[in-house]
């Protein structure tokens, strides 16, 4: 916000304080919106008509608006109406929010695979996300979801999703590897609650079934060739978000905690607990640079099972390593990258990217000392590009090339939509 606005507000407060008067907000205007309902914005912000003018509250409202998918950028200004009243005008630059997406990648056996989808991030002009996808990766998969974080109030919302996901999954034994056809079908319901500007919590459950069918590779008498089990999952997510956005630039800190308990009816697969926390730190460097860092710490019930929950994968944690090449019951992963804007036009941005991804895993049934074993450590430096549209939400096409420098390393290209983290 421009300095003279703060000076103006400060002088008004000082003068009126001396006279024993308070400055009130007589009007709140929402400008620049076309699709978004102005009533939704006024419901969302904490500054209200008739309240005492509070510039700190206005700054917090601005920060909250910038985090919405529908907002490309937002500003406010204060207009004096008389000696004790002002008009607050929020100006919002909307994103285009009906977004198709397409990902092309190679599957676990290097066959051609793709994912197509469509998402609307501002359904009914109220920040409701409705989306669906179809994926072909040897087998067909699809999913549907709706997320309304402010469905019931400016703090309470709901998320519902359904997936029918089928892939060819490698299962790792000590002797060798086998391929299974894996299907996960289920529904998830989450309640969403915003404690305050920086703290949110999600809580709920999922009912799903897992179906493993042996395809080829190593076999063991201790592991069935076919397995289907119904499961229940209870989930709690806690987010601390102190990020500040300005178009493609991000500054600040975020912590995302994910705790899950999975119960498998029938006892064919053990119940387990899994928890992990992502720590993210972003720093603006000069007018065109952005340093981004992510650290993930995770542990799960340490069962000696080939179906361990943490996976080592191109698209999740380490670029260039390959698709689902290992599993574990614990993970320590770091990603650090420097993003530099090469071109910044009215709507288009081209960013370069230099990164280092690394991590280590605990073997199923293993010890914490597994994290320090050379065969479990992967380090992959690399470079990449980002092609971005400034007024279309998450319209970022990324391409990265990672090159491993640790034992038995690989290399490869990774494509995707959105920043890697």
- Burial (CB < 10 A; 0-12, 13-18, 19+), residue 184, is middle
Place of tokens 């008067």: 21
Q: Kindly report, residue by residue over 277-305, the tens digit of the pLDDT.
A: 999 999 999 999 999 999 999 999 998 87
Q: What percent of the chain has pLDDT over 70?
A: 92
Could you tell me the residue ranges of all domains in the chain? Answer: 3-94, 98-417
Of residues 311 and 192, more confidently modeled: 192
Give the pLDDT band of residue 111 (cuts 50, 70, 90).
Answer: low
Q: What pLDDT was estimated at residue 298? A: 97
Q: Is residue 343 predicted with pLDDT exceeding 60?
A: yes
Q: How many CA atoms lie within 13 A of 139 on its CB side?
A: 15
Angle, alpha carbons 116-311-373 (nearest 5°)? 150
Average pLDDT over residues 1-12: 56
d(CA 272, CA 233): 10
Give the pLDDT band of residue 3 (cuts 50, 70, 90).
Answer: low
Of residues 188 and 18, more confidently modeled: 188
Q: What pLDDT was estimated at residue 380? A: 97
In 38-95, beta strands by DSSP E: 71-82, 85-94
Angle, alpha carbons 379-402-180 (nearest 5°)? 85
Question: What is the pTM assigned to this prediction?
Answer: 0.83
Q: Kindly report, residue by residue over 192-204, the tens digit of the pLDDT.
A: 999 999 999 999 9
Secondary structure letter of residue 17 according to DSSP: H
Give the pLDDT band of residue 11 (cuts 50, 70, 90).
Answer: low
Average pLDDT over residues 175-182: 86
* Domain 98-417, architecture per CATH: Beta Barrel (2.40)
| CATH classification code of 3-94 | 3.10.20.310
Please tell me if the domain spanning 3-94 has the same topology as the one spanning 98-417: no
Q: What pLDDT was estimated at residue 19? A: 46
Average pLDDT over residues 301-324: 86
Tokens of 295: 């650290």
Give the pLDDT band of residue 236 (cuts 50, 70, 90).
Answer: very high
Q: What pLDDT was estimated at residue 5? A: 56
Residue 84, helix vs strand vs coil: coil
Q: Is residue 60 predicted with pLDDT exceeding 50?
A: yes
Secondary structure letter of residue 23 according to DSSP: -
């Amino acid at each position: 916000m421009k300095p003279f606005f703060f000076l103006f507000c400060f002088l008004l407060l000082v003068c009126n304080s001396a006279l024993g008067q308070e400055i009130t907000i007589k009007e709140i205007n929402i400008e620049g919106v076309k699709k978004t309902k102005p009533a939704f914005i006024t419901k969302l912000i904490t500054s209200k008509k008739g309240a005492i003018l509070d510039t700190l509250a206005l700054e917090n409202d601005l920060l909250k608006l910038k985090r919405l998918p529908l907002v490309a950028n937002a500003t406010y200004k204060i207009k004096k109406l008389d000696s004790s009243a002002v008009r607050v005008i929020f100006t919002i630059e909307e994103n285009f929010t009906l977004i198709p997406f397409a990902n092309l990648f190679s599957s676990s056996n290097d066959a051609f695979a793709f994912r197509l989808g469509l998402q609307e991030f501002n359904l009914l002009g109220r920040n409701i996300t409705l989306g669906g996808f179809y994926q072909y990766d040897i087998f067909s998969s699809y999913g549907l979801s709706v997320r309304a974080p402010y469905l019931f109030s400016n703090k309470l919302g709901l998320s519902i999703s359904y997936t029918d996901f089928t892939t060819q999954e490698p299962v790792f034994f000590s002797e060798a590897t086998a391929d299974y056809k894996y299907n996960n079908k289920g529904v998830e319901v989450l309640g969403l609650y915003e404690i305050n500007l920086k703290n949110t919590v999600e809580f709920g459950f999922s009912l799903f079934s897992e179906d493993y069918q042996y395809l080829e590779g190593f076999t063991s008498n201790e592991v069935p060739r076919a397995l289907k089990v119904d499961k229940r999952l209870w989930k709690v997510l806690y987010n601390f978000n102190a990020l500040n956005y300005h178009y493609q630039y991000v500054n600040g800190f975020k912590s995302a905690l994910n705790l899950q308990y999975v119960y498998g009816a029938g006892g064919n697969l053990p119940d387990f607990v899994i928890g992990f926390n992502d720590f993210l730190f972003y720093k603006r460097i000069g007018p065109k640079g952005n340093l981004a860092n992510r650290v993930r710490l995770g542990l799960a019930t340490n069962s000696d099972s080939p179906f361990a929950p943490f996976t080592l994968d191109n698209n999740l944690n380490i670029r260039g390593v390959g698709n689902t090449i290992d599993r574990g019951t614990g993970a320590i992963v770091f990603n650090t990258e420097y993003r530099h804007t090469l071109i910044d036009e009215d709507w288009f941005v081209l960013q370069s990217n230099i990164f280092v991804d690394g991590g280590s895993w605990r073997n199923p049934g293993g010890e914490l000392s597994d994290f320090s074993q050379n065969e479990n450590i992967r380090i992959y430096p690399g470079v990449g590009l980002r092609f971005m549209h400034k007024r279309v939400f998450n319209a970022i096409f990324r391409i990265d090339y990672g090159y491993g420098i640790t034992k038995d390393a690989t290399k490869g290209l990774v494509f995707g939509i959105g920043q890697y983290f």
